[in-house]
Amino acid sequence: MMRQCILGSAVLVIALSVFSSLFNFTQAQPQTAKATTDPYEAGAINSIFSKWRILDKVDNTQWNISGEICSGAAIDTTTTIDDGTYNPFIKCDCSFNKKTTCRITALNLAQNYLTGSLPPAIGNLTRMQYMSFGINALSGELPKELGNLTQLISLAFGSNKLTGSLPYELGKLVKLEQL
C-alpha cells in the first residue's frame, strides 16, 4: 500500500514536470519569435515618407526604410529619441500581440530639410508618443487627423512653412505635455 502510494506520487511528479516543461516550451515561443512592425503602420509610415523629400544628404540615419522598420536602433532600449545619436530616428514598442508586433512610438525628423506636406495618414500611427518634425521646410496645413494620436506626449512642428490654424482636433490629445 505504502509502496504503491510512493510509486504513484513519483509517476505524478514525472508527469507534472513533463507537462510543465512542455508548457514552458510553448510559452517561450512568442519571446523567441522575432517581432515585426504592424503592417498597417509600416504601410502608413512608408506612404508618408514617400511624400517627403530630403533636400540634403542625411548622414546618420538609422531608419530601416527598405527592410523591417522596427529593427536595429529602433528597438534598442539603450538609445532614446532624445539622445540625438541618430536623425532621422524612429522608436518602436514590440510588446504588442504577445510580443510579436511592434508599433511606432516615436519619430524624430527634426532638422532634415524636409519639404512636402503632412499627410492625413499620419493619424494612423496611433501609438505615437513623441513626434518631432520641427525645423524643416514642410508646407500646407496640419492635418486634423493628428487629433487621432491620442497617446502623444510631445509634438513638435515649429520652424516650418506650415499655413492655416491649429486643428480643433488637437484638443483630443489629452496626454500632451509639450507642444
Could you tell me where the DSSP H helices lie in 51-95?
Answer: none
Nearer to ligand NAG by Cβ, of 68 and 154: the residue is 68
Nearer to ligand NAG by Cβ, of 63 and 130: the residue is 63
Could you tell me where the DSSP H helices lie in 33-110?
Answer: 39-50, 96-99
* Identity at 164, one-letter amino acid code: G
List residues near ligand NAG by CB under 6 A: 40, 43-44, 47, 64, 67-68, 71-72, 120-121, 123-124, 144-145, 147-148, 169
> Rounded to the nearest whole angstrom, what is the least distance from the CB of residue 167 to ligand NAG in the complex?
8
> Rounded to the nearest whole angstrom, what is the least distance from the CB of residue 73 to ligand NAG in the complex?
7
> Rounded to the nearest whole angstrom, what is the least distance from the CB of residue 137 to ligand NAG in the complex?
23
Cβ atoms 146, 117 nearer than 8 A: no
Nearer to ligand NAG by Cβ, of 45 and 109: the residue is 45
Distances (CA, A) of 58 to 61, 78, 109: 6, 22, 11
> Three cell numbers at 116?
512636402
> Three cell numbers at 143?
492635418
> Three cell numbers at 121?
495618414
Nearer to ligand NAG by Cβ, of 84 and 120: the residue is 120
> Rounded to the nearest whole angstrom, what is the least distance from the CB of residue 132 to ligand NAG in the complex?
21
